[in-house]
Structures are given as C-alpha cells and as structure tokens.
Amino acid sequence: MSRIRGLLELARISNMPTCVTNVLVGCAIGGVTELRVAPIFGLVAVAIGMMYVGGMALNDAVDAAMDREERPGRPVPSGRVSRRSAFVIGFGALGIGLAALAPLGIAALGWGVALVAVIVAYDFLHKRLAASVALMGLCRGLVYVVAAVAVNPNLDAMTVLPIAGAMTAYVAVVTRLAQGEAQSARPVTGRLLWLLPVPLLLPALVVGPSAPAPTIAAGLVMIVWIVAAARHLRASPPRPPHAIMAWLAGICLADGWFLCLLDRPWLALAAGACFLLTTWGHQRILGS
C-alpha cells in the first residue's frame, strides 16, 4: 500500500481532473458537436493524462537529490519509489501519451511532440533557469492546442491563442509562487496577488458569449476562489502548499469560465465537478 500511495503521489494524481477540463476546453475550441467529439476527447484525455504523469514522474526523478534535503517525504527520497523507476515511468508515460495521439492525425501528433519537448525541457531546466516558469505555463497552454487541432486539424491558431495564452500566463505565475514558497509569495500577497485572475479574464476581450449570465457567474466564482486562496499565505504560520493547491484547483474553475465564453455552459458544470474532485483529492494526495 505504501508503494501504491507513493506512485499516486509521484503522478500527482489529485491534479488529474485539471487536465480533463483543459481537454474539454480544447475540444470546445475545435468547434464541433459534442457527440462527434466524444471519441476524440477520450483519446486526447488519455494522452494528456499520461503526459502529465510522465512529466511529474520525470520531475521527481531529476530533483531526487535536492528533494532529499528539502522534501524528504516525497516518493523518491523516501524510498517508496526508486529514482530509476521514476525515470522509467516518466519517459514511458510520455511515450504512451504520444502513441494515444497518433490515430488523431499529424497535426495533433505534431503538437503533442511539441508539448512533450516542453515538458522535458522544464523538468531538466527548472532548477537552473528562473525563466523556466514560462515553460511550465506553456505545458498547460499547449494542452488546449493539442485538443483543438485533434478536433479540427485546420484550426486557425488565433482561435486558440487567447485562451491558451491566458492559461500559460496564469500557470507561469503560480509556478513562480510555488518555487518561491513563503519567501517570495508572502510579500506579494498584499500588493499584487489580487491581480492573479487578470490573465484569465483577458480572453473575454476576444471571445464573446451569447449567454452572458452564466459567464458572469462562472467568472465571479473563479475570481473569488483564486483571490481567497491567498488567505493561506496570510495565516500564522503561512501555508504556501495550501495556497498553491487551491490555485491549481482553480484551473478547473478557469476552464469553466472559458467554456461559458465558448457558449458551452453545460460543459462548465462538468468543469465544476472536476474542481470538487480536485479539492477532494488534494486532501488525500498532495498536488504540489
């Protein structure tokens, strides 16, 4: 049981619903009916889920030496998962993810290769290069592109760019706060942290929904959750991991907002369910 739990922690399995909502949004951007997109959604969800697991496992394998000093409870330094196993799981899961995209066409596979390249680059560079937070953001942004072109290979890049760019910016900032933990995050709280939802709101300048009421409601829920998460940093003592996990769960709420912008409010309900599942999962398996 200890080894199984170690593997679940290695995969950050509690964050998996956030990958599902990213794929939902990407498929909605592709612009076809939900009935037709269902099989494509399934394949892309499997592919992105495996890439996420691979990226997390590879991250822990690369960081094993540092984690022994800073986070000895993680699966690799605690001995529940060997470093070699983490490397095998990491590269193996990335390969399975690409294989799942292969039946969806050259466009989806090509963007999938780009996503895997960015994941690997981040895992090997994030401790050496401060600007690597942009790579982590891009890992999320590219998920929308992969899913969208899987549905519609001829999709105009400008159609997906506003939403992919917004999530890229959000995740990059959250990653920077996670890297800094309390040292960098707490001073920011009082002055700038309320700006964290702003990048997620910008797609509304480009994408105009036909049903404003659910869109406004989804936007307000997202903003309140993301801003309120800062309370963990103001606690005594501060609880940075709780804030980071709350912001990660907020990805589902952001996707619900995007789905309303794309006139898919019924799918936004699914994103809300994924948000609840993520927050529940974080109580059992840490997402950061």
Note whether 34 and 8 are within 8 A (CB). no
Number of structural domains found in the chain: 1
In a domain, 164, yes or no: yes
Which residues make Cβ contacts (< 8 Å) with residue 63, sequence separation at least 6?
A: 127
In a domain, 6, yes or no: yes
Which residues make Cβ contacts (< 8 Å) with residue 91, sequence separation at least 6?
A: 54, 58
State the Cα–Cα distance between residues 184 and 188, nearest whole angstrom.
7
The domain that holds 84 is classified in CATH as 1.10.357.140
pTM: 0.93
Domain containing 90: what range?
2-282
What are the C-alpha distances in Å from 226 to residues 36, 106, 161, 194?
Answer: 34, 37, 22, 8
The pair of structure tokens assigned to 174 is 């959250």
**Residue for token digits 């936004």?**
268
Give the pLDDT confidence of 48-87 residue by residue, as tens digits: 999 999 999 999 999 998 889 888 989 999 999 999 999 9
In a domain, 287, yes or no: no
Note whether 20 and 51 are within 8 A (CB). no
In a domain, 127, yes or no: yes
In a domain, 241, yes or no: yes
Which residues make Cβ contacts (< 8 Å) with residue 199, sequence separation at least 6?
A: 165, 166, 169, 170, 173
Residue-by-residue pLDDT tens, the chain, 288 positions: 678 999 999 999 999 999 999 999 999 999 865 656 788 999 999 999 999 999 999 999 999 988 898 889 899 999 999 999 999 999 999 999 999 999 999 999 999 999 999 999 999 998 888 889 999 999 999 999 999 999 999 888 788 999 999 999 999 999 988 876 534 444 444 556 778 999 999 999 998 888 899 999 999 999 999 999 988 887 888 888 899 999 999 999 999 999 999 999 999 999 999 999 999 999 999 888
Note whether 193 and 223 are within 8 A (CB). no
In a domain, 136, yes or no: yes
In a domain, 126, yes or no: yes
The pair of structure tokens assigned to 78 is 């605690």
In a domain, 288, yes or no: no
